[in-house]
Chains A and B, each alone.
Chain A
């Protein structure tokens, strides 16, 4: 039921517009059903003496003194009538456009905002492609449903209803005859379009499989070429492309059967209506003008009925789309129950018996973590992939929340601190930082609107990325990210460091964030940064022992537990894990010494 709540939520404040659109639409269709009656009026009333089927408010203005004058009046009134009808068309069109686009706008913004505020856990397990699909294709499906399909259904419904009404007013029996095939048309269309979905799915799957073949071929060019598998690739692609063509053609054939089949039924209806019409006219049960009007009205019923059936058959798609959007919205925002407490943060951090475990995991990722870092100190965390070192950082900025124990900052439990406030004071530089698709300049200054150029260049200089940037064709104006130049992993990391340098954070975390920078540059950057962080609490998460060895305190993490804790000298002396790791990673140094 939830989706129906959302269905109306996005329409907030626009319901009147929707109703106005509907009323105008109704009027439009009523007017349209009058069109064939003008010819009836000419044939039966002007040429003969029979009553007109047009409503009184129109016939009243069609009384000329001569036939010529009357015909002129009919013609002029017809044009005026059309103008009025078109005004209604316009009113409904404008209302629906405003309505539909406002709803779409609300949906897009709600979704974007919601997704941004979903938890880190959600994002790390989310399927990006699928999520994007939902925010674009599914939103569009829903937008079109309320703004186009629903309107179209209403339009077709009103049109055929009014046409039937006009028929009925002229000759009830003939109306019945003209509707004999109507149920067959609607039902066959509805059934067809809901059944054809499975075939449609097969086509889509075939296309996806073909696209994958191209995708992998293009991204794997080196491999294809080096193993000279071009012919193999062509054959693979050709087979999939052929399957896609075959499935697609199956769908096409079904389509051809449907459209021609329903055409067949519709023209049988025409034959019936025309033949009975002729019979009744000759019998004197109806007039010639009425006969002509009947044929005109019939086309306002049979063709729309087929469309109606098609649209109803397609409704299923919208419900699926709405469900898929809803799946996202039922997820809870990570800020929903967040504290509003924003204490000053200086950077005295304490982990007390901290443990963390994903609720669907058997084993904790971290346990019994105890340590303390004071402002101005540097703490290095060394460990293998999977040892839990990144989890440690995620806990610190509350991307994840501890399952046991507590983390204190300046004596306050971080669970009692507003998340955004906390993150604003802890600068994290990720191993794989994300750059937004805008210029390098704007990326560096992203947290500080209107930062002056000198600051930006200084930051880039300290992070040793200034020269790289000047080497780009458009320098600092070079657009990066999705739609721009792709930077190397090392360049991205350095831009991310520059980005962080613009702000003064009491706590900084380097989450393996120099891993893709060569050793020489690594040293240069760290040396430059040393000046910068006199009073800052610094975390360095790394797998390179050389990066860690100058820290004030070093933690060795293994399988989620602290294996050793101390400074370089004491750890080396203890001759434990750290010492052996040190030996392993510095074999060259040993060799150099022995030379």
Chain B
């Protein structure tokens, strides 16, 4: 039990810093919020005044036996009806407007931040995490903030108004009936928090089940070949069974909530019936007022429940809020210095007139690189590459190939030493300047949804259709593109599933070519394509490399052979360097690496 209390306490802990950030995102909507609060108060007034209108009818018309006042009664009711419709419309409209705008605002900030964050952020943050921040978290947060304002304002004012009117009517009766209020509040809070927890557990269980479905579907072939159907089913059953038990428990628990509140409320009603009844009998209050009291007591639990509900939801939203804030407020660890920005501009407002042309010499000057975790990948690494030279990086996984490429792209910066472009430390220029002259071709190509044309144009947004077709021709993609019914306007469909891997690779070459970069990075895929496509790709590589400084993370023999220089890497060191022939003559690592596969196995 003690542990349970501690958990509850921990759950209730409030993080003011997070909410302060979140409320700062709401600043632009100040007017909207004021309007919303106004209408929420109006709703509370409307709800409180409804029994009062009836009371007018009971005491002033029926009891007074004065039918002449009926038209006034109808008029009041009519006015009330119109006012309700208008106020309800307004508060729903405003709350929704706030919700949509807020969600939009949060997404906008988050997305902009995502574009600013360096590559290293993506390296350590799973895509799913980011997706969840952009979708469910921002949605949940804006839901709760906008409707939370309505609920809290309405609930708070409703309680105050109810109490005030009750006190005015008869303070003794009010004091007697509100004795149940503490019980009402405690019960609401207790149940709300318990229910929240129970459902959190269910959600967890549910996502586990979704994961298992996912496995069952994506792993269907493997499951069949390993004949794991039965053992998978047993595991699945174990989880669905536990899901069932948890759900039933939570359901019953949630089912107890409202009845227990009603029970307390019925005690309040009984108090009104007895004490109020006596007062009517003694003619201290009228029948109309007894009616008002009875109606209010029955209404009272609504704002209490609503407030408890909002509290629970805010608490639930805190986790979302923290995650969203952590994304929006993430500090990029690679930025341009202020004086560099001064000269060369930002990505939004580049001062291209100050940009020096990039020639393409790349130098690593005593570069050491450590990942944040502390693992050193490169140590005192030196390399000079002349403009127009092509360099193939060869070595085992973890030898440092990707790190070198990431450093050239300035996706990472050296821990020590510097990378020079055309003899100048690249930190002295903006990232934008570098990237504007950089091409990157991943052979596990990333295409975007849209047409083939759009995808090639991605390399250069102002490219004309002729330029696009020219680029496609150059890399040999034009042929197969034309075989499609819609040619260049063919949708690559999401994830590019309509095109073969080889075709996608060719398109990504065209995309790189149209960007006309001075420095080109080629990251070869290990996946195999058929020989025909292979030849086309080799041809495309040759075309794209021409006249550019090229770094290739190479796996294909033919690519390696055609490079001007081959660097054999091991543990972040260049252990051999030279062209294909020279390296073979050395009979060293390179020789071993590429002759090994022809040794007979059966000895």
Contacts and interface: CB of A to CB of B under 8 A. Distances in A.
Interface string B422-446: 0000000000100110111010001
A586 B585 CA distance: 18
Nearest to A113: B233
15 contacts: A42-B290, A68-B281, A94-B255, A116-B233, A211-B131, A216-B446, A260-B84, A267-B80, A270-B77, A278-B61, A488-B397, A490-B397, A512-B528, A515-B528, A523-B596
Nearest to B243: A105
B85 A234 contact: no
B229 interface: yes
A224 B96 contact: no
Interface of B: 53-54, 57-58, 61-63, 65, 67, 70, 73-74, 77-78, 80-82, 84-86, 88-90, 92-93, 96-97, 99-101, 103-104, 107-108, 111-112, 114-116, 119, 122, 127, 130-131, 134-135, 206, 209-229, 231-233, 236-237, 240-241, 243-244, 247-248, 251-252, 255-256, 258-259, 262-263, 266-267, 269-271, 273-274, 277-278, 280-281, 287, 290-291, 294, 347-348, 396-397, 409, 411, 432, 435-436, 438-440, 442, 446, 448-449, 458-459, 461, 494, 511, 515, 521, 526-532, 557, 584-585, 591, 593-602
A104 B267 CA distance: 38
Contact of B115 (A38, A135, A234, A436): A234
A275 B61 CA distance: 10
Contacts of B243: 105, 108
Nearest to A398: B224
A423 B222 CA distance: 11
Interface stretch (A82-90, A188-196, A301-309, A358-366): A82-90
B259 A90 contact: yes
A225 interface: yes
B230 to A, nearest CB: 9
Contact of B62 (A268, A271, A281, A515): A281
Contacts of A102: 244
B291, B347, B396, B602 — most chain A CB neighbours (10 Å): B291
Given A38-B273, A76-B270, A128-B218, A424 B435 contact: no
Contact of A436 (B82, B219, B436): B219
Interface string A70-86: 01101110110011001
Question: Which are the 8 A-B pairs with shortest beta-carbon distances?
Answer: A252-B96, A226-B440, A93-B255, A260-B89, A434-B219, A97-B251, A267-B81, A75-B270
Contacts of B511: 227
A430 B221 contact: yes
B248 A592 contact: no
Contacts of B594: 519, 588
A288 B461 CA distance: 78
Interface in A470-495: 481-483, 488-490
Contacts of A217: 111, 114-115
A340 interface: no
B115 A233 contact: yes
Interface stretch (A5-13, A153-161, A167-175, A242-250): A242-250
A282 B62 contact: yes
Contact of A222 (B116, B130, B442): B442
Nearest to A99: B248
A48 B435 CA distance: 91
Contact of B458 (A223, A257, A397): A223
A242 B104 CA distance: 7
A260 B86 contact: yes
Contact of A78 (B82, B256, B273): B273
Given A128-B218, A420-B227, A420-B229, A232 B461 contact: yes
A128 B220 CA distance: 11
Given A112-B233, A436-B219, A225 B411 contact: yes
Contacts of A277: 57
A543 B533 CA distance: 14
B507 to A, nearest CB: 12
Nearest to B515: A227
Interface string A178-219: 000000000000000000000000000001001110111111
Contact of B70 (A116, A242, A275): A275
A321 to B, nearest CB: 16
Interface core residue of B57, B135, B220, B229 (most chain A CB under 10 Å): B220
A441 to B, nearest CB: 16
A226 B597 contact: no
Question: Which of A105, A118, A120, A526 gathers most chain B CB within 10 Å?
Answer: A105
Nearest to A420: B227
Given A550-B600, A588-B594, 12 more contacts: A74-B277, A75-B274, A102-B244, A123-B221, A132-B217, A227-B458, A230-B115, A252-B96, A423-B227, A430-B225, A481-B215, A482-B211
A505 to B, nearest CB: 11
A291 interface: yes
Contacts of A452: none
A131 interface: yes
A423 B226 CA distance: 7
Given A222-B440, A228-B347, A238-B108, A112 B85 contact: no
Contacts of B602: 530, 550
Contacts of B595: 588-589, 592
A194 B248 CA distance: 31
A180 to B, nearest CB: 15
A16 B125 CA distance: 51
Contacts of A101: 244, 247-248, 251
A237 interface: yes
A259 B95 CA distance: 14
B85 A128 contact: no
Residue from the set B277, B348, B599, B602 with the largest chain A CB neighbour count within 10 Å? B277
A2 interface: no
A564 interface: no
A221 B130 CA distance: 12
Contact of B220 (A89, A116, A519): A116
Contact of B529 (A113, A226, A385, A427): A385
Interface in A262-303: 263-264, 267-268, 270-271, 274-275, 277-279, 281-282, 288, 291-292, 295
Contacts of B103: 245
Contacts of B82: 264
Nearest to A270: B77
A281 B67 CA distance: 10
Nearest to A112: B236
A225 B531 CA distance: 32
A436 B601 contact: no
Interface string A511-544: 0100110111011001100100000000000010
Contact of B530 (A224, A232, A386, A526): A386
A290 B322 CA distance: 55
